[in-house]
Structure 1
Amino acid sequence: MNCLFCKNESDSSKSLEHILPESLGNKEHVLRPGVVCDKCNNYFAIKVEKVVLDKPYFRNVRHRNLIKTKKERLVPEKALFPHRNAGWVDFWKDESGFILSSEDDHIVKMIMSGELNKVIIPIINMPEEKDVDISRFVTKIGLEFLASKYQTNDEWLHELVNKLELEPIRRFARYGEGEFWEYNLRRIYTENDLFVDPINHPEPYEILHEFDLLYTESNELYFILVIMGVEYVINFGGSDIEGYKKWLKINNNISPVRRYSEVMLKSSE
Structure 2
Amino acid sequence: MKINEVCCIFCGSKGPSSAISHIVPESLGGPHSPIATQGITCNKCNQYFGQKVEQPALRSFPYSAYRLFSSVPSKKGRPFEMPVWQGTVQGTGMPGQFFIRPATDAIRETLQKNKTGQLRILAEVSEPLAVCRMLIKIGLEQIASNAYEMAVSDRLHAAREFCRRPKHGDRWWFLLFADPIIMQSRLSKPEEDFCQIEVTEQQGQLCAILRLAGILTIVPLESNLLPPSDLGEKLPKCRAIWAAS
TM-score scaled by length of structure 2: 0.74
> Percent same amino acid at aligned positions?
25
Q: Could you tell me how far apart the structure 2 residues matched to 1:207 and 1:160 are?
A: 28
SS in 2 for 1:181: strand
Q: How does 1:43-192 map to 2 (within 5 A)?
A: 43-80=48-85, 88-94=86-92, 95=94, 98=99, 100=101, 114=113, 117-118=115-116, 120-125=118-123, 127=125, 131-150=128-147, 157=148, 159-160=149-150, 162-177=152-167, 179-187=170-178, 190-192=182-184
Query: 1: distance between equivalents of 2:229 and 2:98?
Result: 45
Report the counterpart of residue 216 of structure 2 in structure 1.
231
1:41 Cα deviation from its structure 2 partner:
0.1
* 2:216 is equivalent to residue 219 of structure 1: no
CA contact (8 A) 1:193 1:206 kept: no
Write the distance in 2 (CA, Å) between the matches of 1:140 and 1:247.
27
Distance 1:183 1:248 in 2: 12
| Unaligned residue ranges in structure 2 (runs of 5+) | 1-5, 236-245
Which one has a bigger Cα radius of gyration?
Answer: 1
Aligned equivalents of 1:91, 1:186: Cα separation in 2: 24
Q: Match of 2:42? A: 37
Shift in Å at residue 137 of structure 1? Answer: 1.1
Question: Is the CA contact 1:137–1:173 (under 8 Å) kept in the aligned structure 2?
Answer: yes
CA contact (8 A) 1:58 1:127 kept: no
2:29 corresponds, among 7, 25, 30, to: 25
Q: Which runs of 5+ in 1 are unaligned?
A: 81-87, 151-156, 195-202, 254-269
Provide the alpha-carbon RMSD of the alignment: 3.6
Which range is displaced more, 179-188 or 13-22? Answer: 179-188
Q: Residues 61 and 124 of structure 1 are in contact (CA less than 8 Å); yes or no, is this contact kept in structure 2? A: no
